[in-house]
Amino acid sequence: MISVTDLERTYRRPRTSLTGPRPEVHALRGVSFDIEKGQRFGIVGESGSGKSTLVRLLAALDRPTSGSISLQGRRIDNLPERRLGFLRSQVQIVFQDPMGSLDPRMRVRDIISEPLGRQPGRRERVRELLDAVGLPADSGERYPHQFSGGQRQRISLARALAPRPSILLADEAVSALDVLVRKQILDLIAELVERYELTLVFVSHDLGVVRRVCDTVAVMRAGEIVELGAVDEVYDDPRHPYTRELIAAAPNLAAALAGLEEE
Amino acid sequence: MTRNLSLLAGVVLVGLVVGTALVSFVWTPHDPLLVDASVRLLGPTGDFVFGTDKLGRDVASQLMVGARTTLYVGVVAVGIAALVGTPLGILAGMGARWLGELIMRVNDLVLAFPALLLAIMLGAVYGASTLTAMIAIGVATVPSFARIARAGTLQVMSTEYVLAARAGGRSRWWIALRHVLPNISGLVLVQSSVSFAIAVLAEAALSFLGFGTAPPTPSWGRMLQESQELLAVDPRLALVPGAAIALAVLGFNLLGDGLRDRFDPRLEVRR
Amino acid sequence: MTLLSVEGLGIAAGVLPLVEDVSFTISPGERVGLIGASGSGKSLTASAVMGLLPEGLTSVGSVRFADRELLGASERELSRLRGKDIAMVFQEPMSALNPSMRVGRQVAEAMLLHGTRDRRGANAAAVELLERVRLPEPERIARAYPHQLSGGQRQRVVLAIALANDPALLICDEPTTALDVTVQARVLELINEGVRDHGSALLFITHDLAVVATVCERVLVMNEGRIVESGSTRDVLSAPKHEYTARLLEASA
């Protein structure tokens, strides 16, 4: 479905001195992986690991410095915007910030139908989508600020599903949410992925969250994938020292409670 | 609550100017242009509320018709500036990097060019009139709109909803019209109000110097100028249009401040 | 012996109640967690203790700290306490630091402000504090500006400032939410160590049950402005009595 080979992305920082080259930041340094249709692929990493850069490249919102990305066998990394039409309906994104990802001046129905253009039957589709993400039917007339964080992520999900994509990219989609709401949205994502037979790419800094929705996980650090495998295997038997560090560092309720028992 | 107060005060003052200008179309106490030597330099009386000038014209009537000139100049000058500056700013914020740089550097050049000099040059070529004053003030105000529009555009372009629109296959035109423009409209509105105040002041200054509204059309700036020689004899003739200018400028500035507090997008998010 | 005693605390925006009838106590050196979802009133409760309620909010009840009533105390009285007897660590370290002042100076200022050290002593103590929160090369970090540090380093600086005057009570409001997992683990360790070494009591606000279990010995669970359950961390989190706590636990598992 998605095939990524030797992907590199280098950003140039603004000049810090008049002479000398502009400093470079290697956001991605040689990333390769394949994602099968229907796979739920998690990408875990801390800030600066390059995971967000990778998402933007997969959505063709940015171009790699070198390497290639193919979608169903078609190279997408070198296509001009006007030839990306097929991708624009197939690949959709849900972002982290529940407020910043919705235009405050647009009604919810306009936000959700935005990727649809002037298709007929938009109203019906919006109603259908609101229902699919569990929002009341009259939500369409309201504005984003009238909704809670979790509801806003539901609106984002509805917008992403509008053009009937085959691939859903989630970039820290539940990181800004409270525990209870996080669980609801994770459950919703899992349900939607199943119902619409989506391929999911789920990016998070939280291995525990990835474990709940994904079957495969890639652990990233400093622009590289350090470990890739089935999520349970990676979690139960981490090979790379960094993966072990990540797992050990994550606060673990059961372990912490066990520690309290001993005291 | 002080915010609402300043907005209210602004609305009242601006409303007063607009109302006066509107009424002057259908009614003024006297013909503002009627010269009558028998009533020269009268103080305020029941008939002439603000008295008469050296030619015996009614000051109150001139003031009312002058409000028209003031608003006319403000609307056209700010209109030119907003209609040219805002799209330029959006283009600078959304277009290629070199284009944005080019627009902003030209912008700096215009900003560095004295508006007064431009007005004098236009006046020299086409003859001083209200129109040349408006164009000069408008052109000189374009950069402030371009700047504020560009800053707002850059902020909107960095949001995730714009990324989502791009991921949904939306064109740059769509993004500019549906996302950028509505979200910077508050900023532009505030800038308009503040620029209006500056334009009112600039028109008065240009007319005072003789590069603006030509006689006999009444204008607050010209009323000031004509009062100059009689300043020692009858300061009333300077005080009346001076106060009108000050109140109008204050009104538009208060309105701008009030609107800023209402429309500041950063405040909006927290609501 | 209680250090902090909150009784019948209520906070309202006009007629809309945000926090209702909140009562709890903290003993010297005790580590207490306050957990709940956003909007549960946990941060407002902490702000009330610090006397930092946002404008337009009204409070009733009583907040007693070392036998002094803080609710309704004068700003002067409160500012003498803040940063000395009660210190606070916020979620966002960047906004808690002055961007135009070197961090060493900011740590030293905290001591100079309350007259706990003279200038020369404060500068030396600042470097020592930065070392205590395990910042590498503390002398160099002391001369850096906040933007030159990473998020985790900044939060350590904030912690150093908070601990500078050996506060009797340290309040942490989601101090690690904005940090990476590996950094979070270290900062939590430092907070634990810091309150132990300085003998401070801790009021730790978070929505993360695993974090609270790592740091606190007692927890208060807040929902919709009320404390719905409280007790030792072990009891509450292994055998929750309230339905809301049970839901939190289920979602965190």
**Six-digit token string for C20:** 């209702």
A163-176 burial string, b = 16+ CB within 10 Å, else e?
A: bebbbbbbbbbbeb
CB burial readout C59-97, b (16+ within 10 A) else e = bebebbbeeeebbeeeeeebeebbbbbbbbbbbbbeebb
Give the Cα separation of C32 and C221 in Å (integer): 11
Interface pTM, i.e. ipTM? 0.82
Task: Judge whether B169 is closer than 8 Å to chain A, CB to CB.
Answer: yes
Q: What is the DSSP letter of A167?
A: E
Torsion from C-alpha of B113, B116, B120, B121, nearest 10 degrees = 10
Helix (H) / strand (E) element for B99: namely helix B97-112
Asked if B70 and B205 touch (Cβ cutoff 8 Å), the reply is: no
Higher pLDDT, C121 or C24: C24
Task: Please answer whether residues A251 and C208 qualify as being in contact, where contact means their C-beta atoms are separated by less than 8 angstroms.
Answer: yes
Inter-residue contact A43 to A220 (CB < 8 Å)? yes
Residue A43 lies in domain: 2-82+92-97+166-262
Burial of A136 (0-12, 13-18, 19+ CB in 10 A): exposed
Is the separation of the CB atoms in B207 and B145 below 8 Å? no
CA-CA distance, A245 to A197, in Å (whole number)? 34
d(CA B52, CA B64): 14
Give the per-residue pLDDT at A168. Answer: 95
The pLDDT value recorded for residue B270 is 35
Cβ–Cβ contact C208 with A under 8 A? yes
Q: What are the tens digits of pLDDT across the range A207-256?
A: 888 999 999 999 999 899 999 999 999 999 999 999 999 888 888 787 77
> A89 contacts in B (CB within 8 Å)?
169
Core vs surface per residue A183-204: b (16+ CB within 10 A) or e: bbbbebbbebbeeeebbbbbbb
Whether there are 3 or more C-beta pairs closer than 8 Å between B and C is no
Per-residue confidence (pLDDT) for residue A259, from 0 to 100? 74
- A124 belongs to a structural domain: no
Using an 8 Å Cβ cutoff, are A172 and A96 in contact? yes
**pLDDT tens sequence across A16-64:** 666 767 778 888 999 999 999 999 999 998 888 888 899 999 999 888 9
Q: What is the residue type of B244?
A: A
From the CA of A145, how many Å to the nearest CA of chain C?
A: 15
**Nearest CA distance, C75 vs chain A (angstrom):** 34
CATH of domain C4-95+171-252: 3.40.50.300
DSSP conformation class of C147: G
Sheet arrangement for strand C169-173: C86-89, C169-173, C201-206, C31-35, C218-223, C226-232
| Residue A65 falls inside a structural domain | yes
B163 lies within 8 A of chain A by CB? yes
The first and second tokens of residue C92, run together, are 């966002």
CA-based torsion, C55, C57, C62, C64: positive or negative:
negative
CATH class of B2-24+51-270: mainly alpha
Specify the number of domains making up chain A: 1
- A159 contacts B164? CB cut-off 8 A: yes
Domain boundaries, chain C: 4-95+171-252
Neighbours of B96 (CB within 10 A): 9
Residue B1 confidence (pLDDT): 46
Q: What is the mean pLDDT of residues B195-200?
A: 85
Contacts of C249 in chain A (CB under 8 A): 253
